[in-house]
Each structure stands twice: as structure tokens, then as C-alpha cells.
Structure 1
Amino acid sequence: MAFRALLIDDEPWALEGLQLWIPWESLGFEVCAMCGNGAEGLERMEELQPDLVMVDIQMPIMNGLEMIEEWRRRGNWSTKFIILTGYSDFEFARKALKFKVSGYLLKPLDEEQAESEIRMMGMELMKEQEQLYIGQIALREQEMLTMKQALLGKVLSAEGTQLMQSLSQSAESWIVCLVQVSEKEFGRWSSLASEILNGRDVLYIIRMRNDLVSIVFGDVSPGPRRTSGNFRKQLETLARRLAGFRTYMAIGSTESSLHHISNSRITAEKALLHAFYEAEENSIMDYADIQNHDFQRHNQQVELIERVLGALQLIDYANYQSAVEFIEQSFRQMRVHPDEARKFVIYLLHEIRAYMRAQMAEDSENYRMFEIPELDEALLTLDDLIGMLHSCGRVCFEFLLKESVFEAQGIVQEINDYIHTHYQEGLTIKLLSERFFLHPAYLGQLLIRKNGIGFNELLHNLRVEEACRLLQMNQYKNSEISEKVGYANYHHFLKQFEKRMGMSPNEYKKT
């Protein structure tokens, strides 16, 4: 971006010469305006805030030195001035030094000297701009560090206390929104948050830990202590844009000062826990709505574990399902603390795995199908945990009831239906295994047993079959058909099509 230059001289021909003779653009400047005396120059400087002013000394109404003196008196010390003077005005030029004039040029102007002086001014402005930017970054980093300490309720230094007091004055009230997001998806979340929340002056986004972010918002509007409607709308927009991956957001209490911002963070954490029982992903919890809802302990955990393991021992799938449903209902009704619920279910899954391992021969490799995947426990909801228990149960009883084809067909048919519905998307065996809570290797074996072919072969068959149908319609280009049936790469589509049909798409159209 070019620096702005204002030209002031009472002689029109001199102004015209300054504008035409000097290569302003190549020197990094643009001439924003020209005027003929110091009084008018003051008005234009207030209006345009130029970076550089070239001004003649001798002018009617208000001369150049009087104008510079008044501009400095108003507190504007960053503006660069180059004064234009004749030999008889040299003493005036010397006096200008006390007004921090950056340079002077003698009339008539030497074009080469003038260009050199302006280039030097440009370099000084760039250096000052860089220093200002570095200073702003350093200040922002200090604000973020101090803000994080305040959020954690740590005792601040005298300097930190003073900084928080100063920042507090920039808004009427303060509030914290906590965002829980997977570490793997933090980059995408951060980009979206910066885009949607951009433009807010009183806003801090602070990473508390790998999976937790604090958004500290200052509401500048006076009024009752209530979350700003505009801020809430922005958070809801952010939540909608995050559809497709999991995040949870919670708003804490409103505080009048940053000295008490840790209270807002603590209440936001309490509200965030209640997302565990929410069926809707990316919802926003508000402490004001749930502050009277308390969590409880579940005192029947041992009995529940015995009931689940007993169902496995008796190979009683109905009783297993009933036990899992009771776990869900009782946990939801009692509002068991999320940490306790997660620990219980994960422990139960390990107990089930240990039981299944004991039922297998020592040299059997089938136990791998019961391995529990690495989980981001903090983001698991009750629905997730119950889904894992149901899926684990299906796999366990399918193994235990080797003679029962019905059990195996049930889940495979469900998976086949899903593949037939979503084959045009970027399906992979890994995505399917995550959706149906099955080990990828075991899922692949189930599909081969049911279909006689592997997952990839089935996927390509479905896509090529649909491509043939679209080719017969003769409405789309081959590349468009490739995308419609799920191929991101046209050459990959061509290879699979020719492999199955024995001809190219163009040849197929002619048949």
C-alpha cells in the first residue's frame, strides 16, 4: 500500500511541477491532494492524514512554518515534512528543525535531489511502520499471555494487573466462550473463527490447551449484563459453519471487569460439561440456562458391569441390548457427571475385550477385532458411548454365535445399504469403520463374506454402473460424470471404467 503525500505551495506551476516531475508511484507514494496555503493545508491534513507533506515556507494567510508548528501543537508528531525554500529563506529552514522537519529542498528544485529526499522519507516511513507493527505484535502477545493467566485465576504481577485494568476500560462487560475442538481439527476451526469473528476490536482468542480455546469478548454497548446478541449470532454462525466436524461451545457468566474473568471461564467450563448430553452437535451451552442443573453419581456401576458380562456369558444378545439401554436411560435421567460416565463406559469396553480375549485360543489373532481405538475422550458424548457399546455388542455376539448367520447379516446389510446410498461420496473403509464402530480389518472381512468381493471392488462397481446410466442419457461431459459418481481424478475413473466395461466412456456412448 502506497504512502500518502500532500503538496502545499501558493504557486500553481510549482504544484504542477512537483506532481509531474517526481515519480511518486515508483517511490512508494501517491499524491492524495494539493493546496495553496497553510490554513487549507491544516484542513486537508486533518481530513486525509498524509504520511508526507511537502510545503513551501512563504505562503499567504498561514506560512509553512506556522502550519507545521500548529500541526505539532495538536500532537501529530508522526507526519513527515519536507519544506521547500529559496536561499533567502535558509534561516527559516534552520528554525524548522525544532518542529521535527524531516528535510528541506532548495528552490528551484533539483529533480534528482528531490527524488532522493523523498525516497529516503519512504524508507524512514517503512522502517517506522515495521517497528510499529512489531510493537503492536509484542503488545498483543503480552495481552494474550496476561489474559490467559487471568483466565486461569493466577496472581498477576503489578504490570499485569495494570494491563488488565487498562484493557477492562475498553468494554462495558466481559464474557468467556469456551470451545472444545479436536486437536486435529484446530487449524480449520481457527481459520473459520478468524474469518467469522474478524472485525471485533475487543476480542481475544486464547488456546488454553490442545483441545480447548477461550474466546474472551468485550461488550462495548451499555445495558443489562447479558450476552451481546451480536456476539451470540456470530457464535451461532460459527457453529453452523463447523458442521461436518465436532466442536462444543459454552458461554460463561458476564463480568464487569477482567479482574474477575476467571469466574466467566469457570462457569463456561461448567456449562460445557452439559454438552455431553446434547444430541445436537455444535450447539451452544449457556451457563445462565443450566446453572441450577447439577450432576450426580451412579451407584449401580458394579451391578451394570456384571449384567453386561453375564449377557456375554449366556450369549443373551437381548439382555445385552437391554442392559445398554438401561445404562443410557439411567445415566441421562440421573445426569451422571460426564467424566464418570466416560470412565465407566471405557472401563466396561476394556472388560468386554478382556472377556472376549479369554474365549479365544491363545494363538488366535481374532482378538484384534475387539481392540478399542484411540479416542478423544473429551469430545465423546453419551450418544457416542452408547453407540460404541451397541456396536461392540454386535461384534461380540456375532463372534460368539458363529453358527448364526442372521447376526452377521444384520450389520453387514446395514453397511451395504449405507454404501449403496453414499458411494458417490469420498467413502473409505476407515470412514465406514468409524461410523459403525468396527475394526477396519474385521469390517473388510464381513463385506467379503457377504458380497463375495472387497469394499473397493464394490465401490468401483457401483460408481461405474451409475456412470453407464449417465452416459446413456448423453447429457453430461465425461469429466462431469466422473465427479458425479465420486471420482476426484478423471484418469482414475477412466481406468476403472475401462477395466470393467472393456471400452472407454466414448466408445460406450456409441454402443
Structure 2
Amino acid sequence: MAFKVLLIDDEPWALEGMQIWIDWEELGFEVCGISGNGMDGLRLMEELGPDLVMVDIHMPIMDGLEMIKEWRQRGNLSTKFIILTGHSDFDYARKALKYKVARYLLKPLDEEQTELEIRAIQRELLAERERHYISQIARREEVLQMIKEVLLGQSMSAEGIDFLESLSRSAESWNVCLVQVHREQSARLGKFALEFLDGLETAYLLHLSMEHFVIVFGDSAYQGGGVSAGKTIEALARRLAGFRVFMAVGASAGSITGIRAAYKTAAKALLHAFYELEENCIIRYDMIEGSVFQHCHNQVELLERILEAFEIIDYAGYQSIVDSMEQLFRETRVYPDEVRKFVVFLLHEIRAYMSVHIASERGPSGYLFDIPNMDEALLTFDDMIGMLRSCGQVCFELLLRQSMIEPQGIVQDINDYIRSHFREGLTIKQLAERFFLHPAYLGQLLIRKNGIGFNVLLHDLRIEEASRLLRMNQYKNSELSEMVGYTSYNHFLKQFEKRLGMSPNEYKKIKAFHGKSFNSNIVSNQI
């Protein structure tokens, strides 16, 4: 950045000459203004803040030395001056030394000598700028360290507290924006945020860990022409679109010394990003104040239901369980860390189940789905539920594909067994135990292969046998009911009428009237 130079001389030709034949840009300067007398020169110095002033001694209204004296008395000690003087005024110009003016040029100006003096001034200004910059960095590091001590609740000296209190007066209120990022992007995004906040005197960025940094910022109710730190942080959030970043702002404090409370409330607000987060949205403590997290007390039941859905290959049931989990956890606000641990546990259990039951697939446990690490704190509730849904879709596709291949032979064995034992008190639970299958899965398997369920098949076989025995006309109806497997005659009667549309007695009369057998043909040819 070029330094600013102000030219002051009562001779217009001299001013024009200095502007034209001195290559200010090459020397690292830009002419910010010109003036024809010392009084106007003072006004321009106040207005423009030049780094260098080239001024003639003899001028109307106020000469050069009087102007320099007045400027120094106002406390402006850093401004550089080059005095322009004639040979006769040399002794007079030396008086300027007490005003810390060591450089002068004799009129008419020598181009080479003028360039040498200006370059010397530029080197001094560069050195001073470097020292000032280093001093600013050192001072800011001291301030950052003191602010960090406040955030962490560490004890401070009375001098440090007094200093922060004085610093606090630059804003009416102070707050903390806590930012959580992925550790691999922490340095990059922290640098970006620091550059974005550059120029805000009431904003300080500190790294607290590999995944967190905080922005301590101060704002005033009336900013005037200044830039609002709060609005700048909102703009920063928008600029971070495309990155997974959580940001939360706490409850404001009156001074920097009170920002530990703001930091704590920001940390509480940040937890709610697990449920509330929208793309690059800042969670504010006043948005969630009063919201509390709960514990989940039915994790064992949920696990059992999910594994049962896998055992019976009930994808719809699995989806329903995940839906109910989503609603329950969201409504009761289960602790984020508890949700993450539970979902990761479920994924491990599902993977273990699949590793055992899909042995025919090539390496299922290695490619079915990825299980996140528990330290991935940037995973949201929607992420966790999404993992369960995608995991279920992949796993049930494999289970269903295998279920269409393996049971071809076993179904026929099950049907044969039912045909041989339907007269007994046969239940689907007994049947499942005999064939080492889950009762619900067995029931679904029979429906897929036979087109009818176990109970329908059982009653069809019993009523078909009952109609055969009725045509023989050798047994009472109650005896016949027990012979085909019913312990309740009313149950037998209900099932008989449901299938044949008539009572057993009506059936016998029709058989006797026609004098021939009545073919019931009840049971599906599918079995």
C-alpha cells in the first residue's frame, strides 16, 4: 500500500513541478493533496493524515516552521517532513531540528538529491510500519491470551481485568460464536474466517481445539457508519455454504470479562444443531433456551424389534420401527451423543446379523455399509436416521434375494408335514420349532409360496377331511369335529359354514339327496 504525501508551497509552479517530475508511484507514494499556505496545510493534514509532508518555509498566513510546530504540539509525532528552503534560509531551516525535522532540500530542487531523500523517508516509513505491525500482532496475541483465560475460567491479574474492561468499552455488548468444523478442515476454515473478519476491531478469533474455534465479538445498539460484527458473522455463515459447519451464538454479556457465560450458553446451543441445523444456520441460545434433552429408556426393546424384523425379513416392519424411532427421538429430544451411540450400536448389530445369515454372499460384512466413528460429532440426527434407512434397504434386498432361493425345497417339506399332522393340535409355533424358523418368517414364507397363510391352509385341510367323513355317514358331527383336529364344535361349525356355505347336516342331506359323493375340492392346488 502506497504512502500518502502532502505538498505545501505558495508558488503554484513549484507545486506543479513536484507533482509532474517526481515519480511518486515508483517511489512508493501517492499525492493525497496540495496546499498554498501553512494554515490550509494544517487542515489538510487533519483531514488526510499524510505520511510525508513536503513544505516550503516562507509562505503567507502561516509559514512552514510555524505549521510544523503547531502540528507537533497537537501530538502528531509520526508524520515525516521534508523542508524546502533556499540557500539564504539554511541557518533558519536548521531550527526545525527541534521539531524533529531532519531532512531538507535546497531550492531549486535537484532531481537526484530529491529522489534520494524521498527514498530514505520511504525506508523509514517501511521500517516503522513493520515495527508497528509486529507490535500490533504481539499486542493482539496478548489480548487473545487474556480472552482465552476468561473463556476457560482461569484466574487473571487485576491489571489484565482492568485492561479487558477498558477494551470492552469499544462495544455495548459482547458475545461468543462457537464454531464446530471437521478437524481436517479446521485450519483452512479458521484462516478463512480470520480473513473474513479482518478489519473488525471488536472481533477476536481463537482456536480452542482441533474441531472448535470461537469468535468473541462486540456490537453496539447503534453502529453508525461502522460494520456490525453480528451481521458479519451471519455473512460468514452464508459464505461457508458447502462445508459441514455448526455455528452457535450464546447469551450476550456486558463486557469481555463476562463472556465465559456467553461461551457456556453457546456450547449448549451448539448441541441443538444435531436436531435443528439447516444449511449454514446459526443456532442462537435464545432460540433453544428452555429446551432440554431426555434419555431413551427403550433401547433394548427397539433393538429386539429391529432384529426380529430382520429374522422374519419384514422390511415394512423395519421401516415402521425406524419411523417411530425418528418421531420418538425428535419429539423427546434424546441426547445427541446417546442417539449417536445407539445408532452406531444398531449398525454393528445389524452387520453382525448379516455376517451370519448371508454367508453365501461374498464378504457382506465388508461392503454392506460404513459405520461412522463416534467422534464424528458433525453427524446430525437426519444423518443417523438416513444411515439406518439406507442400511435397511441394502440388507433387506440381500435377505429377500436369498429367501427366494433357499426355501424352494423346505416349503414342500413343510406342506407335507402339515398334510400329515393337520388332525393334531398343530400351531405355527410348533411348526417353526420343528423346521428351525421364526414363526413370523415361516408364516410369510407360506404366504409367498402357497398364496395362503398357515391357518387358512390348516382349516382347508381339516374341512376337506370333514366333508369326506360326512359323505361316509359313519360318525356324529361332534365326533367328526374332534377327528379332524377341532377341540370346539362351534369353531368347527363356523369354519365348515365359511367354506361350504352350509352346515354339516345340510351337507349330508344334499349328499343323500343326490346319492353321490359331493366333491369339496377345498384346498388350493398350489400345495
Shorter-chain TM-score above 0.5? yes
How many residue pairs were aligned?
Answer: 402
Out of 283, 286, 307, the residue aligned to residue 284 of structure 2 is: 286
Query: What SS does the aligned partner of 2:402 have?
Result: coil
C-alpha distance in structure 1 between counterparts of 2:240 and 2:106, whole Å: 63
The answer for the alignment partner of 2:103 in structure 1 is 103
The TM-score normalised by the length of structure 2 is: 0.69
Identity of aligned residues (%): 58
The answer for the alignment partner of 1:474 in structure 2 is none
Residue identity in the other structure for 2:218: G
The answer for the alignment partner of 2:352 in structure 1 is 354
- 1:449-460 to 2 correspondence within 5 Å? none
Residue identity in the other structure for 1:342: R
Deviation at 1:276, TM superposition (A): 1.5
Contact 1:196 1:237 in 2 (8 A): no
The answer for the alignment partner of 2:384 in structure 1 is 385
Query: What SS does the aligned partner of 1:176 have?
Result: strand
Residue identity in the other structure for 2:97: L
Task: Rate the CA distance shift 1:202–1:76 in 2: closer, same or farther, 3 A.
Answer: same
Q: Deviations over 1:444-499 (max 9, x none)?
A: xxxxxxxxxxxxxxxxxxxxxxxxxxxxxxxxxxxxxxxxxxxxxxxxxxxxxxxx
C-alpha distance in structure 2 between counterparts of 1:17 and 1:372, whole Å: 76
Structure 2 portions without partners, runs of 5+: 406-527
Q: Deviations over 1:187-233 (max 9, x none)?
A: 6755775676565332223333233232222112269xxxx996665
Deviation at 1:52, TM superposition (A): 1.2
- 1:334-483 to 2 correspondence within 5 Å? 334-359=332-357, 361=359, 365-370=363-368, 372-375=370-373, 377-403=376-402
Query: What SS does the aligned partner of 1:401 have?
Result: helix
Query: What SS does the aligned partner of 1:209 have?
Result: coil
Deviation at 1:181, TM superposition (A): 2.7
Query: What SS does the aligned partner of 1:377 have?
Result: coil
Deviation at 1:6, TM superposition (A): 2.1
The answer for the alignment partner of 2:42 in structure 1 is 42
C-alpha distance in structure 2 between counterparts of 1:210 and 1:356, whole Å: 36
C-alpha distance in structure 1 between counterparts of 2:130 and 2:382, whole Å: 52
Out of 235, 245, 249, the residue aligned to residue 247 of structure 2 is: 249
Name the larger-Rg structure.
2
C-alpha distance in structure 1 between counterparts of 2:234 and 2:369, whole Å: 37
Contact 1:240 1:282 in 2 (8 A): yes
C-alpha distance in structure 2 between counterparts of 1:403 and 1:365, whole Å: 15
Deviation at 1:338, TM superposition (A): 0.7
The answer for the alignment partner of 1:295 in structure 2 is 293
C-alpha distance in structure 2 between counterparts of 1:17 and 1:106, whole Å: 15
Task: Rate the CA distance shift 1:363–1:47 in 2: closer, same or farther, 3 A.
Answer: closer
Structure 1 portions without partners, runs of 5+: 407-511
Moved more, 237-246 or 212-221: 237-246
Residue identity in the other structure for 2:378: L
Query: What SS does the aligned partner of 1:336 have?
Result: coil
Q: Deviations over 1:270-289 (max 9, x none)?
A: 11111212263333322113
Task: Rate the CA distance shift 1:209–1:110 in 2: closer, same or farther, 3 A.
Answer: same
The answer for the alignment partner of 2:53 in structure 1 is 53
Contact 2:50 2:79 in 1 (8 A): yes
C-alpha distance in structure 2 between counterparts of 1:231 and 1:49, whole Å: 27
C-alpha distance in structure 2 between counterparts of 1:229 and 1:308, whole Å: 54
- 1:112-511 to 2 correspondence within 5 Å? 112-158=112-158, 160-186=160-186, 189=189, 193=193, 200-221=200-221, 234-278=232-276, 280-359=278-357, 361=359, 365-370=363-368, 372-375=370-373, 377-403=376-402
Residue identity in the other structure for 1:319: G
Q: Deviations over 1:148-197 (max 9, x none)?
A: 33222222345543442232111010111222233345567557756765
The answer for the alignment partner of 1:421 in structure 2 is none
The TM-score normalised by the length of structure 1 is: 0.71
C-alpha distance in structure 2 between counterparts of 1:103 and 1:183, whole Å: 55
Q: Deviations over 1:2-50 (max 9, x none)?
A: 3222222334444344344433332222333333332222122222222
Q: Deviations over 1:295-315 (max 9, x none)?
A: 111122222223222332343
Task: Rate the CA distance shift 1:278–1:256 in 2: closer, same or farther, 3 A.
Answer: same
Query: What SS does the aligned partner of 2:77 have?
Result: coil
Contact 1:172 1:222 in 2 (8 A): no
The answer for the alignment partner of 1:411 in structure 2 is none
C-alpha distance in structure 2 between counterparts of 1:234 and 1:28, whole Å: 33
Query: What SS does the aligned partner of 1:392 have?
Result: helix
The answer for the alignment partner of 1:90 in structure 2 is 90
Contact 1:296 1:336 in 2 (8 A): yes
Moved more, 376-385 or 178-187: 178-187
Residue identity in the other structure for 1:321: Q
